[in-house]
A and B are shown apart, each in its own frame.
Chain A
Amino acid sequence: MTDRAFDAEAYVDAAAPLVGLTIDPAHRPGVLLNLERIAAMAALVMDFPLPDEAEPAPVFRP
């Protein structure tokens, strides 16, 4: 999904209830702008081929 136009409007409508959020209409344009900014960043990260051996960085020490 990061390699074609990202529909931030539709995404917010679907994702906000999933995390229990109601987005105030006054905040909505800023939220959309920021999601688009994050999506553009995500495109850079998701487009990069990683080997299966590349594990997430945080180390949990029991």
Chain B
Amino acid sequence: MTARSAIGKDIASGGALAIAAAVRAGQASAVQIAEAALARIEADDPALNSFTTVTAERALAEARAVDARRAQGYDPGPLAGVPYAVKNLFDIAGITTVAGSKIDAERPPAAADATAVRRLAEAGAVLVGALNMDEYAYGFTTENTHYGPARNPHDRDRIAGGSSGGSGNAVAGGLVPLSLGSDTNGSIRVPASLCGIFGLKPTYGRLGRGGARPFVASLDHVGPLARSAADLAAAYDAMQGPDPRDPACAGRPVEPALPQLARGVDRLRIAVAGGHFAGAGEAAEAVATVAQALGVATRTIEVPEAARARAAAFIITASEGGNLHLSDLRTRAADFDSMTRDRFLAGTMVPAAWVIQAQRFRGWFRERVLELFREVDVLLAPATPCPAPRIGQETIEIDGVEVPMRPYLGVYTQPLSFIGLPIVAVPVHLPGKLPIGVQVIAAPWREADGLRIAAALERDGVVTAPVPGNGTAA
């Protein structure tokens, strides 16, 4: 190995903004970084099963373009040379978007990049591949029968969470510093929690979903996962803006979060979400750790009717998801993953009265929660009820009660994405235990509040995302 490539490898194992700074300053070339990332993927992906496609050719072409722009004196972008990968439901021009399915593998290659991919490319980031997920995003575990389970870097016999499992374990395992996922009921926050990294589910309608395979149009969000709050904010900022391809995109003005991180938690009113979100075991310990660090250990606010909110999200999800795939369910149900098929089939038969009542309840619940945000700016809740379960595990024990593992993983995330609140999942590493996440929940359109708290907790060492085996936080 030459000295220059050794430097590239060292920088490539760092965070997104560190890589961008090195590339922008000419301390490393984007091509060196891309080559190092591709080598890391080749070495470590077989054990983690993160990637379903590696886009080496595109990565090197994008990296060469970044280096050329810099050489010509142009700004190579805020994410210059940052390797990233996307859940395989995001369109990548020239690659078939499989969305974790066998059925969609028969589709032609995507004609154009998804909006989020295009925005990251414009910011100078370098796409290295597409990532494993639950079929059609309907799951919290990424135990994908077609493509194999995504494995947790902290214990490879355990799940990485889902449905953005590859987006979680690729970042947590140090294969890439940044990934994109989607979150309908918790699919960014659950893998972020179980893999011990940061994840952002922005406000519903904030980031354009154009070119991302839909699951539940009423509830789908896209967002980034990373190993630091600043990297998360930088990626989020790069993806903001209107999206004519997404009818739910609110077209808000760009409100950069990264410049606000230095403000810390000053003046933010924070409370712990009580009742439904009380949690037990490690989930409660993680929230208590974060709350204590923020000085709000005794301030609790009840979120009314959260269990019903989860139920309503469950119904909307089943019915919209089932309807979306009805045609294939009629003609080729056997080609679906056995992990999702029966739920999709059941979802096609949900009575309209339940769905409409669930949507009406959604409006009611939003009003009640918005009232809470007059008293506080941010709420804290567990991201998952437990750290990563084992692959294939059927049940988990919560407070002495045995519950089905797979649906229960979303018990704390589902009521909140239901009303589109912006949430940062922050990773807590309790001594001697697997990591688990805490949701930092902000008011609609206040992503920066959650990111400020995440950055402050990170600065104080309360939340960290060390790559297992590397020994230090990256």
Task: List residues of A whose CB falls within 8 A of some B CB.
Answer: 11-12, 15-16, 18-24, 27, 30-31, 33-35, 37-38, 41-42, 44-46, 48, 50-51, 54-58, 61
Contact = CB atoms under 8 A, between A and B. Distances in A.
Contact of A30 (B342, B354, B360, B407): B342
Interface string B328-353: 01100110000001110111111101
A44 B315 CA distance: 11
B358 interface: yes
B220 to A, nearest CB: 12
A3 B251 CA distance: 43
Nearest to A32: B346
5 contacts: A19-B348, A45-B358, A45-B361, A56-B362, A57-B363
B390 interface: no
A43 to B, nearest CB: 8
Contact of B308 (A11, A20, A48): A48
Contacts of B104: none
A56 to B, nearest CB: 4
Contacts, number: 102
Classify the interface of chain B: helix, strand, loop or mixed: helix
B364 A54 contact: yes
B366 A38 contact: no
Contact of B315 (A18, A27, A42): A42
Nearest to A44: B311
A27 B354 contact: no
Contacts of A22: 330
B343 A34 contact: yes
Contact of B341 (A15, A18, A30, A58): A30
B364 A50 contact: yes
Contact of B333 (A12, A18, A20, A27): A27
B342 A57 contact: no
Contacts of A57: 218, 359-360, 362-363, 366
A58 B419 CA distance: 11
B175 interface: no
Nearest to B358: A45
Contact of B307 (A35, A38, A44, A46): A44
Nearest to A16: B349
B146 to A, nearest CB: 17
Contacts of A30: 341-343, 345
Nearest to B419: A57
